[in-house]
Amino acid sequence: MANPSASKRWLPLEANPDVMNQFIWGLGVPEDQAECCDVYGLDVDLLAMVPKPVLAVLFLYPITSQSEDERIQEDSKIKLQEVSSGVFFMKQTVGNACGTIALLHAIGNITSKIKLVEGSFLDKFFKSTANMDPLERAKFLENDDEMEDAHSVAATAGDTEATDNVNTHFICFAIADGQLYELDGRRSGPILHGKSSPDTLLQDAAKVIQKMIEKNPESNEFNVIALSKKDEQRWWDRRKHNEEQILCFKKSLPVGVPPCQMLFFICALILIFLWTFLISF
């Protein structure tokens, strides 16, 4: 969301997993370890379609006068919560940087589950800001030209025309020490939502998100994106199975058949190969 009081404003990130993936992979998240995925709905069947395990959940929602009043009222209560020291949290001082802040909140709370590329931007960012307070982290980001350039490239890579006049906002849901936290750079601190686990993170976050959507049911500006860990073993098992199918097909090819029939078999083999290639990614 654009912050009128911010001294610097960026173009907003589009709620697009493809754009976000290129963004985080370019900054130091290994492509074979994690990826952003669409969450198409909050009912049980649609949540089951989301690749597991889910590491964090991003939520885009419209800013309204009601949501702003609630934010102000809740901020006074946030300071009374007991927050785990293991939560990575930072403030937002750059206008329209909420998408980047949400991704940093997501990645900052899963550095024990994925190994960032050594020497990458994200590796250096989290190491440099480890002992900073939330506002110091925000200022560090605000003054980082490399991140600003990367954000600008990502913001203009979406399917819709980028504009800095938006009324939507990204937040993140992540787990720290067995608790579900809502992480919003516009808040005074993390918001505790009770116990959770890696196995129930998506479902627990969906319950909180559903309540937020119900407050503004007429809007179509909601979007949910999951940051999931890639299942490398399952990927290789599936690829091995497909390669075995191709091998069986090759052995079944008849010998001494007319060229036109052989051409048919070869075309079928190529189609299977292409299908195997596509579903492997």
What is the DSSP secondary structure assignment for residue 129, as one 8-state letter?
T
pLDDT of residue 160: 65
Residue range(s) defining the domain that contains residue 265: 233-278
> Is there a single domain that holds both residue 237 and residue 103?
no
> Is there a single domain that holds both residue 99 and residue 45?
yes
> Is there a single domain that holds both residue 171 and residue 250?
no
**Is 98 labeled as catalytic in the residue annotation?**
yes
With H, G, I as helix, E, B as strand and everything else as coil, classify residue 56: strand
Within-domain flag for 87: yes
Tell me the pLDDT tens digit for each residue of 80-99: 788 989 999 999 999 999 99
Catalytic residue among 36, 105, 151, 169: 169
Query: What is the rounded CA–CA span in Å between residue 215 and residue 222?
Result: 12
Which CATH number characterizes residue 200's domain?
Answer: 3.40.532.10
Give first-to-last CA distance, the chain, whole Å. 33
Within-domain flag for 263: yes
Q: How many domains does the chain have?
A: 2
What DSSP assignment string belongs to 164-197?
A: S---EEEEEEEEETTEEEEE-TTSSS-EEEEE--
Does residue 126 surpass a pLDDT of 80?
A: yes
Residues 96 and 207: beta-carbon distance below 8 Å: no
Distance (Å) of CA 109 to CA 117, 176, 212: 16, 7, 23
Tell me the pLDDT tens digit for each residue of 133-149: 999 999 999 999 999 88
Does residue 250 surpass a pLDDT of 60?
A: no
> Is there a single domain that holds both residue 243 and residue 166?
no
Does residue 2 surpass a pLDDT of 50?
A: no
Query: Cα–chain-centroid distance for residue 278?
Result: 23
Within-domain flag for 211: yes
Catalytic residue among 98, 105, 151, 172: 98
**Is 151 labeled as catalytic in the residue annotation?**
no
Query: By percentage, how much of the chain surpasses pLDDT 90?
Result: 61
Tell me the pLDDT tens digit for each residue of 211-237: 999 999 899 999 999 999 997 655 555
Strand residue runs (E) in 21-177: 34-39, 54-62, 94-95, 168-176
Tell me the pLDDT tens digit for each residue of 153-162: 888 886 666 5
Q: Could you count the other beta carbons within 10 Å of the beta carbon of residue 50?
A: 19
> Is there a single domain that holds both residue 148 and residue 258?
no
> Is there a single domain that holds both residue 199 and residue 262?
no
Query: By percentage, how much of the chain surpasses pLDDT 70?
Result: 77
> Is there a single domain that holds both residue 73 and residue 162?
yes
Query: What is the rounded CA–CA span in Å between residue 90 and residue 105?
Result: 8
Tell me the pLDDT tens digit for each residue of 32-76: 999 999 999 999 999 999 999 999 999 999 998 888 888 888 887
> Is there a single domain that holds both residue 155 and residue 214?
yes
